Amino acid sequence: MKYFNRLTYSNTTNHTASYAIFLAVVLSCSLLACKSTGFKIGNLDVGKLVEQGVNVFNANNIDEEQEIQFGENMSAVLLGTRPLYENKDINLYVNKVGMWLAANSSRPHLPWQFGVINSTAINAFAAPGGFVFITSGMLMQLENESQLAAVLAHEIAHITQKHHLNAIKDDANRSAVTESLFISAQAYQDNTESSNEDKGYRIWAKKVTGMAQDLYSKGLDRDDEFQADQYGIRLLAKSGYDAFAYIDNLQIIASIAADDSALALLYKTHPTPSQRLEALANQLDKLAMNDGLLLTKRFKQEMN
């Protein structure tokens, strides 16, 4: 598959199944909605160790399986605050666009999942292991599929470059990062004991929720955001899209009043559009001959 315009969604069945699994995971495992008791993983009593504040995990040795699990936990926290947009067709469309981009990324083997969060905020989010969300508020600002792909490409770059995991490693230098962050709600429930009902789970859920909320509210390092722009615009072009749609998106954001509440979190966690455009200037000459697609008609049909 060289360019996305040649992709006719022949993998719709696989994508639909993948999307269904994604919905099942993130909607059924909302962390604070699950009920549980104290737990052990093998011979490791994680609940007691978390209670004692013991550092039982070396954050510098996060493997891919743990990365994916932490991403699922972070996604559950995010969706526990704002649910997915109810229109399944639009979610599926975003998932298909994202899957095409992910297939052209440096980590195509991850279990990539994409979705639309029902929120008026203009923003997008990523979680380790291949989980990407765009808000319905952001989606409403876009005019074509290439612009949608540009948003997703930026978030994909955060994941391929492991920016969230690097932030966790930095945090590990200041506070304990426990194995509990990388254990699923289901694994927790499967390994519970009848005693100490709910107490251990609440501690675990608070730890996971706190880490996720901290990452989303404070945002990543500004250099990470600039790097995600650099990698994202290249991924956009590689996938057959008009790379200048990336610039269009930043100009769209810049055209909205900076004090608009819909942009509050985006401006808190990202450099300004003008700073990001300036940092991308060295990419524009390289992409000047890009003959990518906008796919405006298909985008509007899907949005309708």
CA atoms within 13 A on the CB side of 46: 25
Segment of 27-31, 113-117, 165-169, 289-293 carrying the highest mean pLDDT: 113-117
Distances in Å between the alpha carbon of 89 and those of 95, 138, 142, 148, 199? Answer: 10, 17, 17, 15, 40
The answer to whether the CB of 152 falls within 8 A of the CB of 170 is no
Cα dihedral angle (194, 195, 199, 200), rounded to 10 degrees? Answer: -80
User: Which contiguous run of DSSP H or E holds residue 71?
Assistant: helix 64-81
Using the predicted structure, report yes or no on whether residue 53 has a pLDDT greater than 60.
Answer: no
Q: In 3-state terms, what secondary structure has residue 11?
A: coil
- What was the pLDDT predicted at 145? 98
Beta strands in 56-142 (DSSP E): 113-117, 124-127, 131-135
pLDDT top residue among 45 and 246 = 246
Closest CA to 115 of 78, 140, 143, 90: 90
pTM more than 0.85: no
| For residues 287-295, average pLDDT | 79
| Sheet with 124-127: strands ordered across | 113-117, 131-135, 124-127
Using the predicted structure, report yes or no on whether residue 50 has a pLDDT greater than 50.
Answer: no
Using the predicted structure, report yes or no on whether residue 44 has a pLDDT greater than 80.
Answer: no
Q: Which domain holds residue 252?
A: 4-30+38-303
Write the DSSP symbol of residue 135.
E
Using the predicted structure, report yes or no on whether residue 149 has a pLDDT greater than 60.
Answer: yes
How many Å separate Cα 122 from the centre of its chain?
A: 15
The answer to whether the CB of 145 falls within 8 A of the CB of 134 is no
Cα–Cα distance, 284 to 244 (Å, whole number): 8
When divided into structural domains, the chain yields a total of 1
Distances in Å between the alpha carbon of 82 and those of 86, 120, 138? Answer: 11, 10, 14
- For the chain, the maximum distance between any two Cα atoms, rounded to a whole number of angstroms, is 66
| pLDDT tens digits for range 165-222 | 888 777 654 455 555 667 666 565 555 543 344 555 566 667 677 777 777 888 888 9
Closest CA to 249 of 97, 157, 123, 117: 123
Using the predicted structure, report yes or no on whether residue 135 has a pLDDT greater than 80.
Answer: yes
Using the predicted structure, report yes or no on whether residue 94 has a pLDDT greater than 90.
Answer: yes
